[in-house]
């Protein structure tokens, strides 16, 4: 397996584009993106668990009942959520794009992100679709990645090659996500493309299995969004034997999918609103996988701990505190904690109690932009990893005037 260039257009048969259609006031910011496959794709998606859902999600669930799709269109700057005519707008968007691409409307998935509860006008989207389609390109991943960004400060994209049987396949993804990130599932937008030949059933199994250990294990601010999802399209153009059951080929696909999802998960939390540090909490020695997951995610969700990391304060008591209320079945008298970064590693807790350590060295380690929180529960064989970011003054500033 190796990383390659090209983003979501790296897999065979995929093109993409992103344009400014007029939803955003700033004409320099793209606000409409398109991903298109030359062939009909096996398709799967997972959605936010928020009871308040954007209209596109309702439409996509209906469209994906047959397990196939061929294009994804996404607007940014104004979420199609809590709009009285939201479903009509989503359906119209799919019909307009389908007409331009000569597709069945049910093969066009729709996504939307931005301010919630603000009326969304279909006219900019209608006017932008012809330019969006005419500019489709195998080098269009960057434009598409820009077009889905909201408070993101960097584009998030990745592509990797892997082997299934004797065929080289490629899987790739772009993502947006910076705030309102607390998945279960999904609270961000992630679009994944692959030329691997895999059935809709097994693609669905792969996606829904992998997100449990990737996108469901990250958090920026504890707020679960309303309109976001993770979607994967597989057009089969790598010509590998169809993956329609468990086995070696499915395992190879799962490994590649996991590589893409972990990469994008880290990019999302690393670009958390106002964040200066990416936090990775690795929990080992748990009695069960659920205990490991609960412990790891509780640590990276703790506002107190996130604030301590912003200040490079080795306040390890906040790690134990978060584990203590996580609901995990742990023996707190066995817990060891260490902090690690490119500047070194320091042990700060042994058997649930303090150990002598240099505050100066600890601070130097915690001043790095990527911090590992290593927790050993010393009580079993299960491990889990969760990702988060620090909590800064800028997070409040960004969200204090988000609409204005």
**Segment 222-250, tens digit of pLDDT:** 555 566 789 999 999 999 999 999 999 99
Q: How confident is residue 182, by pLDDT bands cut at 50, 70 and 90?
A: low
Q: How far apart are the first and last CA of the chain?
A: 45
Hey, which residues does 387 pair with through a beta bridge? 218, 280
3-state secondary structure of 15: strand
**CA 312 to chain CA mean position, Å:** 26
pLDDT at 144: 97
Q: Once rounded to an integer, what is the mean pLDDT over residues 47-53?
A: 75
Q: Once rounded to an integer, what is the mean pLDDT over residues 311-331?
A: 96
Q: How confident is residue 159, by pLDDT bands cut at 50, 70 and 90?
A: very high
**CA 81 to chain CA mean position, Å:** 20
Q: Which residue has the higher pLDDT, 214 or 251?
A: 251
pLDDT at 5: 96
Count each helix (H run) and each strand (E run) in the chain, helices first.
Answer: 11, 15
From 48, 93, 187, 214, the catalytic residue: 187
| C-alpha to C-alpha distance for 309 and 303, rounded to whole angstroms | 10
Q: Once rounded to an integer, what is the mean pLDDT over residues 284-292?
A: 97
3-state secondary structure of 219: coil
Whether 363 has a pLDDT exceeding 60, the answer reads yes
Whether 277 has a pLDDT exceeding 70, the answer reads yes
What is the value of pTM for the model shown?
A: 0.85
**CA 177 to chain CA mean position, Å:** 7
Residue spans of alpha helices (H) in 183-288: 200-210, 248-270
Q: Once rounded to an integer, what is the mean pLDDT over residues 359-382?
A: 97
Position of tokens 């829904």? 208
| C-alpha to C-alpha distance for 299 and 279, rounded to whole angstroms | 10
Q: How confident is residue 119, by pLDDT bands cut at 50, 70 and 90?
A: confident
Whether 392 has a pLDDT exceeding 80, the answer reads yes
Position of tokens 């899987």? 171
The mean-pLDDT minimum among 81-95, 175-189, 230-244 falls in 175-189
Q: Is CATH 1.10.10.60 the right assignment for the domain spanning 278-400?
A: no
Q: Once rounded to an integer, what is the mean pLDDT over residues 281-285?
A: 98
Count the Cβ atoms, other than its own, within 10 Å of residue 17.
25
Hey, which residues does 170 pair with through a beta bridge? 161
The DSSP letter of residue 360 is H
Q: How confident is residue 177, by pLDDT bands cut at 50, 70 and 90?
A: confident
| C-alpha to C-alpha distance for 231 and 199, rounded to whole angstroms | 15
Q: Once rounded to an integer, what is the mean pLDDT over residues 122-143?
A: 97
Q: Of 81, 98, 173, 157, which is closest to residue 132 (Cα–Cα)? A: 98
Hey, which residues does 75 pair with through a beta bridge? 32, 112
Q: How confident is residue 305, by pLDDT bands cut at 50, 70 and 90?
A: very high
Residue 255, token pair as written in the block: 């490994």
Q: Once rounded to an integer, what is the mean pLDDT over residues 119-126?
A: 94
Whether 349 has a pLDDT exceeding 90, the answer reads yes
User: Is 187 assigned a catalytic role?
Assistant: yes
What angle (nearest 5°) sits at the alpha carbon of residue 354, between those of residues 348 and 355? Answer: 65
Residue spans of alpha helices (H) in 40-194: 55-63, 86-101, 122-134, 141-147
Whether 402 has a pLDDT exceeding 70, the answer reads no
Q: Which residue has the higher pLDDT, 57 or 196?
A: 196
Whether 185 has a pLDDT exceeding 50, the answer reads no
The chain-wide mean pLDDT, for the chain, equals 91
The DSSP letter of residue 352 is T
Q: How confident is residue 167, by pLDDT bands cut at 50, 70 and 90?
A: very high
Helix (H) or strand (E) holding 144: helix 141-147
Q: Is CATH 3.30.70.580 the right assignment for the domain spanning 2-270?
A: no
Q: Classify the phi-psi angles of 297: left when phi > 0, otherwise alpha if psi is within -120 to 50, otherwise beta.
A: alpha
Whether 403 has a pLDDT exceeding 80, the answer reads no
Domain-by-domain residue ranges, the chain?
Answer: 2-270, 278-400
């Amino acid at each position: 397996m190796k990383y390659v260039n090209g983003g979501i257009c790296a897999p065979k048969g995929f093109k993409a584009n992103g344009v400014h259609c007029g939803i955003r006031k700033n004409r320099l910011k793209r606000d409409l993106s398109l991903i298109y496959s030359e062939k009909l794709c096996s398709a799967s998606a997972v959605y936010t668990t928020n009871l308040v859902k954007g209209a596109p999600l309702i439409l996509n669930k209906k469209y994906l009942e047959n397990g196939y799709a061929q294009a994804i269109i996404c607007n940014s700057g104004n979420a199609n959520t809590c709009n009285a005519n939201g479903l009509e707008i989503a359906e119209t968007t799919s019909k307009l794009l389908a007409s331009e691409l000569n597709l069945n409307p049910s093969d066009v998935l729709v996504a939307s992100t931005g301010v919630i509860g603000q009326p969304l006008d279909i006219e900019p989207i209608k006017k932008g679709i012809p330019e969006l389609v005419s500019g489709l390109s195998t080098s269009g991943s960057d434009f598409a990645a820009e077009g889905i960004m909201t408070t993101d400060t960097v584009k998030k994209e990745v592509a990797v090659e892997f082997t299934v049987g004797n065929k080289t396949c490629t899987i790739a993804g772009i993502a947006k996500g910076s705030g309102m990130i607390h998945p279960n599932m999904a609270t961000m937008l992630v679009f994944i493309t692959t030329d691997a030949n895999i059935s809709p059933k097994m693609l669905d199994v792969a996606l829904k299995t992998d997100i449990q250990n990737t996108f469901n294990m990250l958090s920026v601010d504890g707020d679960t969004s309303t309109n976001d999802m993770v979607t994967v399209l597989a057009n089969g153009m790598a010509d590998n034997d169809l993956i329609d059951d468990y086995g070696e080929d499915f395992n190879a696909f799962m490994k590649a999918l996991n590589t893409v999802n972990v990469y994008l998960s880290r990019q999302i939390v690393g670009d958390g609103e106002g964040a200066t540090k990416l936090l990775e909490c690795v929990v080992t020695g748990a009695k069960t996988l659920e205990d490991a997951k609960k412990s790891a995610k509780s640590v990276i969700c703790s506002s107190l701990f996130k604030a301590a990391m912003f200040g490079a304060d080795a306040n390890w008591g906040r790690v134990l505190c978060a584990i203590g209320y996580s609901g995990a079945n742990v023996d707190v008298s066995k817990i060891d904690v260490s902090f690690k970064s490119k500047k070194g590693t320091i042990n700060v807790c042994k058997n649930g109690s303090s150990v002598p350590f240099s505050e100066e060295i600890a601070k130097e380690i915690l001043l790095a932009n990527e911090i590992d929180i290593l927790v050993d529960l010393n009580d079993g064989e299960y491990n889990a990893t969760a990702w988060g970011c620090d909590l800064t003054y800028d997070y409040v500033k960004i969200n204090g005037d988000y609409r204005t």
